[in-house]
């Protein structure tokens, strides 16, 4: 089996998906896709107001990301997408862009994530952290991917993620 061409760095808010995703894209020579930039303004407004997104909000966003992954694949390039991908159906919608996605699930503790959220500027308020954790469904055995401990240094997270991708 060949190494994955398209990665999705997934997890709840404040896991460092963007930081890790950018580093992974650079390491594999791929295009970085920031999933948040694909949210329609209504989604950003809803989350900024402290209201969690529902499936109807997420579906067009995830389908747009799947389309971007498909576009990058058609261009013959590699990609790394930062996207929460919290539930199996969401990951299935992303796979519509490329069936062979590899998911890098960044996993951390509530306290670490809450601390990170309090120290950053982002549209996602700390009040939504628990709803994201409640929504999160772990990768299933038939899903290509790896769970990476996000309670370590950024360099260690990136090294572990690269090792998982290389072993795939």
Distance of alpha carbon 24 from alpha carbon 46, whole angstroms: 30
C-alpha torsion angle, residues 39, 45, 46, 48 (rounded to 10): 100
> Residue 6's Cα: distance from chain center in Å?
12
pLDDT for the residue 1: 43
pLDDT for the residue 122: 65
Distance of alpha carbon 112 from alpha carbon 110, whole angstroms: 6
pTM: 0.92
Residues 64-114 have pLDDT tens digits of: 999 999 999 999 999 999 999 999 999 999 999 999 999 999 999 999 998
Predicted confidence (pLDDT) at residue 8 exceeds the cutoff of 90: yes
Residue by residue, DSSP assigns the chain as: -PPPSEEEEE-STTS-HHHHHHHHHHHHT-EEEEGGGGS-HHHHHHHHTTPPP-HHHHHHHHHHHHHHHHHHHHTT--EEEE----SHHHHHHHHTT-TT-EEEEEE--HHHHHHHHHTS--SS-GGGHHHHHHH--PPPTTS-EEEEE-SS-HHHHHHHHHHHHHH-
Residues 104-158 have pLDDT tens digits of: 999 999 999 988 888 877 666 777 888 889 999 999 999 999 999 999 999 999 9
pLDDT for the residue 50: 86
Residues 49-62 have pLDDT tens digits of: 888 889 999 999 99
pLDDT for the residue 2: 64
């Amino acid at each position: 089996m060949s190494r994955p061409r398209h990665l999705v760095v997934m997890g709840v808010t404040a896991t460092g998906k963007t930081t890790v995703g950018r580093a992974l894209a650079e390491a594999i020579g791929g295009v970085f896709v920031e999933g948040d930039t694909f949210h329609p303004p209504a989604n950003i407004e809803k989350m900024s107001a402290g209201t969690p997104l529902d499936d109807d909000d997420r579906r067009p966003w995830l389908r747009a990301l799947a389309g971007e992954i498909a576009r990058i694949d058609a261009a013959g390039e590699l990609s790394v997408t930062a996207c929460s991908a919290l539930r199996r159906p969401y990951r299935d919608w992303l796979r519509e862009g490329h069936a062979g996605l590899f998911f890098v699930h960044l996993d951390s503790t509530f306290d670490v994530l809450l601390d990170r959220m309090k120290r950053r500027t982002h549209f996602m308020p700390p009040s939504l952290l628990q709803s994201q954790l409640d929504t999160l469904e772990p990768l299933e055995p038939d899903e290509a991917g790896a769970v990476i401990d996000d309670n370590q240094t950024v360099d260690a997270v990136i090294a572990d993620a690269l090792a998982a991708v290389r072993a795939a």
